[in-house]
DNA sequence: TGGTTATATAACGCAACAGGTATATACGGT
DNA sequence: ACCGTATATACCTGTTGCGTTATATAACCA
């Protein structure tokens, strides 16, 4: 999953979080993460490129500015992955499970869900 | 979020996926990802260490074997992050939003959820 | 206790990555 | 056309990270 690969970086995650509030220009984003992480405009620009190439964000030239936005499908992918891993706890524990596994899980589980 | 940092790697994500089916020994995991990614036992072991230190997995010595399992909280964190980014589309688009932003979003959105 | 299996660590090389400065490119205004 | 702003790219460098082989540590078994 290209998406999660790209999101394995604090700066890039922050960029996506900023975009969660709506579209922002590359400049606004660069300023924001620049301030928070102390990185330069080119550095921010390259993070945006990574996100773009991973399909996490979209960008549209708007005059002299370039507007970035999050691609909903990307967020869905992340959520779907988490859910896929999570399915385990949501009941349906068929075959494969060993007694030991079950026992340990019982020992561990008394919260969540 | 330490968790997503650790998950920014295909091998580690695969390990977590394998653990989604229940607990597995370090050996089983090493064999599996070893076969799939062509990496050695020590390599797998180090990936497990990263996951452990990031709080993504737990490990318990079970005799000569060490059993690994996914920590539900870690998966929750991922899901929560995705949801947090996602909140944007689920209605509530107050201020900040420009007409342009709204337009672009409309253009883009016709699927999801 | 000696051997075997399971897992982790050590030491090291190499490739990928992120960051910086300098610069190119594109657009808008005047 | 020219200048200033916005954004991206080039190029170089330092660091990080992953992989490998060799080895240590620990448990189980005969």
pLDDT of residue B89: 74
Question: Do A83 and A67 reside in the same domain of the chain?
Answer: no
From B82's Cα to the closest Cα of chain A, the distance in A is 6
Q: How would residue A1 be classed by pLDDT, with cut points 50, 70 and 90?
A: confident
CATH number of the structural domain spanning residue B41: 1.10.10.10
DSSP one-letter string for B5-28: HHTSSHHHHHHHHHHTTS-EEHHH
Question: Do A41 and A88 reside in the same domain of the chain?
Answer: no
Does B11 fall in a domain? yes
Question: Do A58 and A84 reside in the same domain of the chain?
Answer: no
pLDDT of residue A80: 96
pLDDT of residue B94: 45
Does B113 fall in a domain? no
Q: Which domain holds residue B87?
A: 74-108
pLDDT of residue A97: 44
The number of beta carbons lying within 10 Å of the beta carbon of residue A23 is: 24
B7-35 pLDDT per residue, tens? 999 999 999 999 998 999 999 999 999 99
Taking 90 as the threshold, does the pLDDT of residue B65 lie above it?
yes
CB contact under 8 A, B23 and A71: no
B8 vs A8, A58, A89: nearest CB: A8
For strand C, the positions having any atom within 7 A of a protein Cβ are 5-11, 17-23, 26-28
Q: Between the CA atoms of A38, A40, A42 and A46, what dihedral angle is there, to the nearest 10 degrees?
A: 0
CB-hemisphere CA count at 13 Å for A54? 25
Q: Is the CB of A60 under 7 A from strand D?
A: no
Question: Do A62 and A97 reside in the same domain of the chain?
Answer: no
The pTM is what?
A: 0.82
- The tally of domains found in chain B comes to 2
Q: Is the CB of A65 under 7 A from strand D?
A: yes
Residues of A in contact with B60 (CB under 8 A): 104
Question: Do B29 and B60 reside in the same domain of the chain?
Answer: yes
Question: Do A86 and A63 reside in the same domain of the chain?
Answer: no
Question: Do A82 and A67 reside in the same domain of the chain?
Answer: no
Chain position carrying tokens 């891993």: A85
A24-25 vs A65-70, strand pairing mode:
antiparallel
Question: Do A58 and A90 reside in the same domain of the chain?
Answer: no
């Amino acid at each position: 999953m290209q998406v999660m690969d790209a999101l394995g970086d604090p700066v890039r995650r922050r960029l996506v979080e900023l975009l969660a509030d709506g579209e922002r220009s590359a400049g606004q984003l660069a300023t924001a993460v620049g301030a928070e992480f102390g990185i330069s405009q080119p550095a921010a620009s390259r993070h945006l490129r990574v996100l773009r190439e991973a399909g996490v964000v979209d960008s549209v030239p708007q005059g002299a500015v370039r507007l970035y936005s999050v691609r909903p499908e990307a967020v869905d992918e992340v959520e779907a992955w988490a859910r896929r891993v999570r399915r385990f706890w949501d009941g349906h524990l068929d075959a494969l499970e060993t007694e030991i596994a079950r026992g340990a899980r019982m020992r561990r589980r008394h919260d969540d869900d």
